[in-house]
Amino acid sequence: MKPYDTELSKKEEVRAMFDNIAPAYDRLNHTLSLSVDRIWRRRVVRIVGRLHPRRVLDMATGTGDLAVMMARSIPEAHIKGVDLSEGMLDVARRKVAARGLEERVTLEAGDAETAVAAAGSVDVVTVAFGVRNFGDLGRGLAELSRALRPGGRIVILEFSTPTMPVFGRLYDWYSHRVLPRIGGWLSHDRQAYDYLPRSVDEFPQPEEFLTILAAAGFRDCRARSQSFGIAQIYTAEKC
């Protein structure tokens, strides 16, 4: 699935989409989730902190929220944030500079399917709300596995589809009816916020995604449901 109906590849369309919505992205994230996304990220940071990493690769870093949170909470860690969108990275760079974290957070353009880190060079890989945008999910996860040292961990935060009948129907109405209207109005890109719920619908369910992680070179693959299944935190160890 792609955000727009063009001849461009998914990767190119995703880059263009995030360039378009970068100025409004943070405000929309926090508004549309009622700031619950901050709670989920803090949980990811706690998981990563218990691993005591020195080198963290934050793939699809976006506007840098997770990278900044990790840098502030894990003082021994250096975080490398990578994202397709220069528009998103511009916002992230301003956050990093405002907090005086330039020596501990580096940011660069790139994607999960190309070599963004040397083999075995990082202790932890994180991805927050980014894996469903990978052009090639299996290849991207395999590349992230390659970047990890043996025994390194991956921690992924991603949207999911709630399975509780009543809550699931309510959330489906909100995500397909309300969210695209508000997101489109504030970002001036309705297609981007139509894409969000559709991309969540198409993303593998937790059990299937754990199987994909295992096929990409991971073991001890686990999923932790967040907020009645609106999101999942996936953790796995490099084989």
| CA dist., res. 146 & res. 167, Å (int) | 39
Measuring CA to CA, which residue among 92, 141, 149, 91 is closest to residue 120?
149
Q: Is 112 annotated as a binding residue?
A: yes
Alpha-carbon torsion 10, 115, 155, 238, what sign? positive
Residues in a beta bridge with 222:
235
Buried b (16+ CB within 10 A) or exposed e, 34-58: eeebeebbebbbebbbeeebebbbb
Element (H, E) at 128: strand 122-128
Element (H, E) at 213: helix 206-215
**Cβ–Cβ contacts within 10 Å for residue 60, how many?**
27
DSSP states of 170-209? HHHHIIIIIHHHHHHHHHS-HHHHHHHHHHHHHSPPHHHH
Q: Is 63 annotated as a binding residue?
A: yes
| CA dist., res. 127 & res. 12, Å (int) | 19
Q: Is 111 annotated as a binding residue?
A: yes
| CA dist., res. 116 & res. 204, Å (int) | 25
Q: Is 126 annotated as a binding residue?
A: no
Q: Which residues are annotated as a binding site for S-adenosyl-L-methionine?
A: 63, 83, 111-112
Q: Which residues are annotated as a binding site?
A: 63, 83, 111-112
